[in-house]
Structure 1
Amino acid sequence: MSPGAGDADSGGGIPGTDATFSALLEDSAEDLYESAPCGYLSTLMDGTIAKINATLLGWLGLSRHEVVGRMRFADLLTVGGKLYHETHFAPLLRMQGNLGGIALEMKTRAGPRLPVLVTSTVKKSDDGEPLLIRTTVFDATDRRSYERELLRARRAADEARRQAEADRERLREALTVLQQSLLPATLPDIPGMESAGHYHTASTMQLGGDFYDLFPLDDDRFAFFLGDVCGKGPQAAALTSLTRYTLHTAALHDPDPVANLRMLNTVLLDRYTGDDPRYCTAVVGVLERAGDATHVHLASGGHPPALVLRGDGKVDHLSTRGGMLIGALPAAQFVSVRTTLHPGDTLLLYTDGLTEARVGDDRELYGDEALESFVTDLAPARPHRAIDALTALLHGFGDGLGDDTALLALGLPAPTDTGSGTSP
């Protein structure tokens, strides 16, 4: 066996292998340093560059001869970056010993600034004395581009939100104007009587279908109506407009409330046929003065009952049970009722948005009984006071109010009351 082989068998290894590995490792480490995907440099404590890798030199367009021993790290930075380095970066690095992920900009020979992220660490001796600063530099061009794109996207989103809000506001204004066009601007003066009305909108972004009106038939008689059409939105608005026009015209032609409802029923059945039926509920009536009192004749088609708040504090429930939906059936039945208002009495009409509000933790219906209890505690009350109290009640329902509500109150002041008037 040759001496070489013996040396190998005895564990000495292949001749020259250790030296070769050592050389390879040294070469590999140097190549990794020079060709790393990030920049490396080492500086003295005063910032003078002692070593820099080829990657960073390539980014900056500089040669090693120009940099090593001739330039400080701050000289590689833009004016703003140099100022930040001297006032913040370098002092903090001396105090803390390391800083990571600092965004700076470096100058390049080609002209464009190079956005970078810098991490620096102070190397110390065994005695704790600072020897040099090692710095790693990452090209943040892609990150900066991403940040700019993100900023542009955020600005575009903000502008889109502002535009959407402006569009919603314009839509609210348009819907408010359209909703108001379906209601009387003011209520007429009725000699010796007081009237008040209110329309409570559940959503400013949807057209409701509730309506009311009060208008003279002649010197001694006034007609009124209040109702609620099915649905919401433009179709409900069109139906409301047709309903108001029909009832107004019918009352001027024939003051009989039942005849008015029959006319409306015929019109709706004729207008809305096939797979798109449209219907509504309504109460229609006539007021006729008779000395100190006012006679009331009203009829209902599927509408909640009217209430009378009497001057003595009692509340009468004017039942029109049996009155059917208007526009649903050709032979629909409508029920009429008569009453007389005396000084101190107030006739109250309302749509079912009031009684169908959800209240309490269990979101139960407010209901007819709760309303009658509320107005009983309120009676006696003049029309304005009754409407104000019910308006406050509606506001108190908050998001439990899912539907619009129309209110109309007509009454005679008590003998001790002074003045009369109307409210829109």
Structure 2
Amino acid sequence: MTAPEIPIETAPDAAEDLRAFEAASRAWLEARLPRRDTAEQDANYSIFHNLGHDDEKALIDAGRAWQAERVDAGFGALTWAHEWGGRGLSASHERIYAGVEREYLTPERHENILVTVELVAPTLLELGSDWHKERFIRSFLRTDELCCQLFSEPGAGSDLAGLSTRAVRDGEGWRVTGQKVWSSGAQFSEWGLLIARSDPAAPKHKGMTAFMVPMDLEGVEVRPIRQMSGGSTFNEVFLTDALLPDEYRVGEVGDGWKVALTTLGFERQSSAGIVDAGGNTADLIRLAASLGITESADGRGRIAECHIYERAQALMVARYSELEQAGAVPGVEGSIGKLVWTQNLKRVGDAAASFLGHRILADTGEADTFAWTQHLLGAPGYRIAGGSDEIQRNIIGERGLGLPREPR
């Protein structure tokens, strides 16, 4: 995909009236998309996709086209600087646009798109070379190319510092050998952000280096993993003597841990507030109404509890965004927000299961019943993705509360 040849409307500065911006956002969306409250939709509460390869690729392609259209119109990279195709607006503008966009039926933003736009692009902006920024950022923001994470390994999941994939100097480049796992969207990605051990003699949090890896490079093999919720979004990636030029290195030699922490910080923020997956309070209210149990004290209590935590999560994300926009380095907000979100995924699923009873167990063709199994089967996955709940609690305790480190 290439940028259109029509001129892009110049963006207003950060002092633009927020209500005028909201009106402009709604007018732009109204001209392009149906409203959610008027469009017919099939019940879909999946957290991880249950699709074949071709169907998942079609879903991703639709999301990529929508992301490119948003960026070209000035609504897809609102807080990014003009030099990267953004508008240089505030986190408040971004939240307003996100709120308005939720009123419309948009193409789904696959996690592969989120990783590219929300994790890798900002990591390269912060730590990449001038060449990386020029080569990748605009392409990644428009999703002309996609990027996956090549972090976790079979023997080093949440303990990323224990990874064993090796990067060895080979002339002017690096030869990489090892295995990665749980790489979302690797089979659809043009690039991967890789962390490898470049100095096995160094302490394990040191001696790591980050690289951008072309996924079609000789020596790179992607094998999809079948998930219990269906589909194969996750993958194993095998690297066998894959030769990378040194210009693909991100950051200094030995700074891989810094790159990883930067990306994981964006990932926790993304998981806490950007990923829109599974059922939510609005879905529970609709379900309760269809079952005629809106007057049930237990049901009302469950829905209220879910709504309280959704609201708390939204406020945390707003606080995180304002801190980031102000130039501060947020602390443990991302970890807290992710915990709030993953726990509420379970809370919503438990509420739906209690409302439906045995009707959730088999696909009888009755609408809005068996569809909830996709939520129940997918929710446990996000207690691992982006750092497990246990790791998030360690981060909060040790870095936020100053508690003694857990024995290693």
TM-score normalized by structure 1?
0.21
Task: Say which structure is richer in strand.
Answer: 1
Q: Higher Cα Rg: structure 1 or 2?
A: 1
Higher RCO structure (Cα 8 Å, ≥6 apart): 2
TM-score normalized by structure 2?
0.22
